[in-house]
Amino acid sequence: MKTLLSLAHLIDWVNDRFATLAKWAVVLACVISAGNAILRYSFDLSSNAWLEIQWYLFAACVMLGAAQVLRVNEHVRVDVIYGQFAGRGQVWIDLFGLVFFLLPVMALMIYYSAPLFVRTFVSQEMSNNAGGLMRWPVILMMPLGFTLVLLQGLSEIVKRIGWLMHVHEMDLHYERPLQ
């Protein structure tokens, strides 16, 4: 179990690095958006490439940051049932959701998005817009992001099993009683 927990912490560390990239993607997208608006309204200058890079960066923010949201336990969850339990009950619900929903869905998303990335990379597909960008960098965000979420899901499973076995102390909300 100690080896699996070490692997889980490595996955957490990797996702922390990608989360930093996601944060910078937000900042950069905002700067580009503001700069583009200033140029467009002040000097009547614009470029499709600047517009496209904004949504490329937004895709990077969402796809590279999703695993971190799972890691820090801030993901969307329906608390109707979950909120009725504390401690072990919440851990078991998390495990059920991770094993039977998150992992299969992420595997399916990787299965469908990876060939799309390969196809756009090999063909060097370009945007149809004048002055548009290559498409493969933004398409890469899908299989990469889904893989990061899948890995983080595995990390969360290991940490929760470790918590149930009293091998690992999770710094999550499980220790707090419901109020």
pLDDT digits (tens, 9 = 90+) for 11-51: 999 999 999 999 999 999 999 999 989 998 999 888 888 88
88-113 average pLDDT score: 94
118-125 average pLDDT score: 95
Rounded-to-10 torsion of CA 141, 146, 152, 158: -160
Q: What is the pLDDT of residue 99?
A: 96
pLDDT at 138 over 90: yes
**Model confidence band, residue 157 (pLDDT cutoffs 50, 70, 90):** very high
CA 43, 48, 49, 54 dihedral sign is positive
Reported as type and span, the H/E element at residue 107 is helix 103-123
106-133 average pLDDT score: 93
Q: What is the pLDDT of residue 16?
A: 95
Q: What is the pLDDT of residue 58?
A: 95
Q: What is the pLDDT of residue 81?
A: 77
Compute CA distances 25 → 21, 54, 55, 59, 171, whole Å: 6, 9, 10, 9, 27
**Model confidence band, residue 131 (pLDDT cutoffs 50, 70, 90):** confident
pLDDT at 177 over 50: no
Compute CA distances 12 → 5, 42, 162, 169, whole Å: 10, 45, 15, 15
**Model confidence band, residue 178 (pLDDT cutoffs 50, 70, 90):** very low
Q: Are 86 and 178 in contact (CB under 8 A)?
A: yes
123-139 burial, b at 16+ Cβ within 10 Å, e below that, comes to: eeeeeeeeeebebbebb
